[in-house]
A and B are shown apart, each in its own frame.
Chain A
Amino acid sequence: MKVTKSLLRNLYRSMVRIRLAEESLVDPILRGEIRCPCHLYSGQEAIAAGLGACLNERDYVFGNHRSHGHFLAKGGGMNELIAEIFGRQTGSARGRGGSMHLIDPEVGMLGAAPIVAGTISLALGAALATKIRRERRVTVSFFGDGATGEGVLYESLNFAALKKLPLLFACENNLYATHMPIGECRVASAIHRVAAPFCVESRVVDGNDVLKVYETARWAVGHCRKGQGPVFLEFRTYRFRGHVGPDDNIQGSHTDIRPPSEVRRWFKKDPITRFERYLTRNGILDARTLRTIREEAQGEVEAAHAFAQASPLPAPEELTNYVYR
């Protein structure tokens, strides 16, 4: 696969922005300044970044509960993300949604929601809309391995195949559905095979290798855009933080039930350090350039925190605004 230097730089920058945004939330969560549940994306950045790089502004994305990365990679603003998490009026959902409801229709981020698998059928409908209008947009539905337990996934696979919809099923398999290891949720570990009975093309990808993600996603997005029907991609990955918050449900008490050896093994596969090694060893970007990119991203994140802090909370008298249009 031929890739340009600017693409590689953008992939790195995209991953770093997500990581630094996520890690910037840890202390405010532990201090109780951020109270809405945050499902951090640290460790999974290669997926949002690699797939996001294959989409244009007109393409649609639907996320789930762990969508900070999906939002940023689709072009959502850092300020609007951080402000939303702090419950501010300037947030992407004006403080009504919090971490789990991230939206920016202007860049095609049509929303995210924490009802597991709940947005898969919404993405199906957006893809249907583009087919009716004969547009060449692609819709991406991000969901986790836990969503494979919900029937609506299979209903959606069937209908997407039946109508040859330009829909990319992006399953981020981080091996745990909240606290449940995937092996206790399903017998077959190869999730991508669920697509086969519906005659939907599928692949399994190392979700911690941003170039593999990009390469596979580029093929999948092209397949959808050419009108050849839906694609199901399983990205194998791992979250570096708890299911929700830095550790797990009880913040600061290190309740992560995952074996420490397993966690350590995955830390070694950190998608960002892996990509840094690739970039420096191949002489594509030197350590100084990478540091500059990181510093710029850190500056952006800090500015976003300052923006959130300076932003007003929603006015109490506006409680019932937006119930109806």
Chain B
Amino acid sequence: MSTDRTLAFSLAINEALHQMMESDPSVFLIGQGVKSPWYVGNTAQGLLERFGEDRVIDTPVSENAMTGAAVGAALAGMRPVAVHPRMDFMFYAFDPIINEAANWHYMNGGRLPVPVVFWGIINRGGEQAAQHSQALQATFAHVPGLKVVMPSTPYDAKGLMIAAIRDPNPVVFIDERWLYRLEGPVPREIYELEIGRAAVRRAGRDATLVAASYMAFEAVKAAETLSREGIDVELIDLRTIKPLDKETIVASVRKTGRLVIADGGWRSFGVTAEVAAVASEEAFDSLKAPIRRVTLPDCPAPASSSLERVYYPSSADIVSAVRQAVQAT
């Protein structure tokens, strides 16, 4: 595939939507703000003009029914993408997402697939406080029947959106607004990433660093800093939270003997805890140092910038966590 062209993260998603709607008449987009020039960034640009109001459906503020409608349309043979421009509002839609979509295939003995994408956007920072900033990947990943993907590059954003749309299961596609302007190579063709497969962004021997989404972006910077200090980090970008690519994580931990995990969610019962559990269950003998985690504290997001600065972890926090892991032995 040609990768000479670069595209912003948000436009990579936009291209995925254009190409999937063009190639498959059962794909449609439903959610708040899909015809607004600013609501979902430029991820929906040009869709309404090209595919019309039947398939680009801007909705009333009714997350429960609108998300349920996406699920029902999927049961009736469509492939809807239900967008939540602020994923905090997805709590209103937990019934259709969790009770219905996640369970439907199982509780009906496999009689009907549920090919729906629940697209939730994290809008951290910007003094938006506790209800406009939440990162709910761990909450969704806990539920059997759901898959959860979190791209960190424009290439992955397009490939994972296409994979999510094509998947016969409900997939929660979570992205971070802070990545929307990130530029990177994106092939023009339709392509998909395998859901459940992590990427080794950098091979290394001293410590394994696992991250996803915006924290994977911070982790790249951290790995560069550590490299200058002579610490050789192996960086794994999860890309898929569920099903977790245990094989790649365990193989790396067996090689490096040290594990640091960075996630943009809360500390307790989250993605980092799950990755740590996998390492201790399947690579315990290889561990040379305690596992370190970089997360949000167990605290709602604050508004004031003085508090935001200490609330959101950055590459500096990852650097110091890796140093601790390496210095412990």
Contacts and interface: CB of A to CB of B under 8 A. Distances in A.
B22 to A, nearest CB: 15
A284 B119 CA distance: 58
B107 A96 contact: yes
Report which residue of B55, B60, B99, B107 has the largest number of chain A beta carbons within 10 angstroms of its beta carbon: B107
Given A97-B108, A103-B112, A123 B72 contact: yes
Contact of B64 (A62, A103, A121, A131): A121
Size band of the interface chain B makes with A = 35 or more
Contacts of A139: 76
A325 interface: yes
B144 A103 contact: no
Size band of the interface chain A makes with B = 35 or more
B69 A125 contact: yes
Contacts of A62: 72
Contacts of A121: 64-69, 71-72, 96
A113 B110 contact: no
B268 to A, nearest CB: 26
Contact of B111 (A93, A124, A132): A93
A122 B109 contact: no
A130 B76 CA distance: 8
Contact of B60 (A92, A110, A130, A158): A158
Contact of A124 (B69, B74, B80): B69
Given A115-B95, A121-B72, A122-B75, A322 B109 contact: yes
B112 to A, nearest CB: 5
Interface stretch (A148-156, A242-250, A266-274): A148-156
A124 B82 CA distance: 14
Contacts of A125: 68-76, 80
Nearest to B78: A129
Nearest to B101: A122
Contact of A325 (B55, B99, B110): B110
Contacts of B64: 121, 151-152, 155
Contacts of B28: 132
Interface string A129-155: 111110000010000000000011001
Nearest to A131: B54
A226 B95 CA distance: 32
B106 interface: yes
A132 B74 CA distance: 12
A12 B54 CA distance: 41
Contact of B104 (A111, A151, A152): A111
Interface in B267-290: none
A122 B105 contact: no
Given A93-B109, A119-B100, A152-B95, A159 B69 contact: yes
A282 interface: no
A115 B54 CA distance: 29
Interface in B25-83: 28, 54-55, 57, 59-60, 62, 64-78, 80
A325 B67 CA distance: 21
A104 B111 CA distance: 8
Contacts of A123: 72
Contacts of A93: 107-109, 111
Contacts of A111: 75, 104, 108, 112
Interface in A104-119: 104-105, 110-111, 113, 115, 118-119
Contacts of B109: 91-97, 103, 322
A169 interface: no
A128 interface: yes
A238 interface: no
A314 to B, nearest CB: 9
Nearest to B61: A155
B46 to A, nearest CB: 19
Contact of A96 (B71, B95, B108, B169): B108
B73 A103 contact: no
A39 to B, nearest CB: 16
Given A115-B100, A156-B65, A324 B112 contact: no
A87 to B, nearest CB: 11
B184 interface: no
Contact of B108 (A103, A126, A321, A324): A103
B107 A159 contact: no
Contacts of A152: 64-65, 68, 95
Contact of A322 (B67, B68, B110): B110
A113 B55 CA distance: 28
Interface of B: 28, 54-55, 57, 59-60, 62, 64-78, 80, 95-96, 99-100, 104-113, 144-145, 147, 168-169
9 contacts: A93-B109, A94-B110, A95-B109, A103-B112, A111-B108, A111-B112, A124-B68, A129-B72, A155-B60
A-B pairs with the 9 shortest C-beta distances?
A121-B68, A125-B72, A94-B109, A155-B65, A122-B72, A125-B69, A155-B62, A93-B109, A129-B76
Interface of A: 60, 62, 91-97, 101, 103-105, 110-111, 113, 115, 118-133, 139, 151-152, 155-156, 158-159, 162, 321-325
Given A96-B107, A118-B99, A155-B62, 4 more contacts: A110-B72, A111-B75, A322-B106, A324-B147
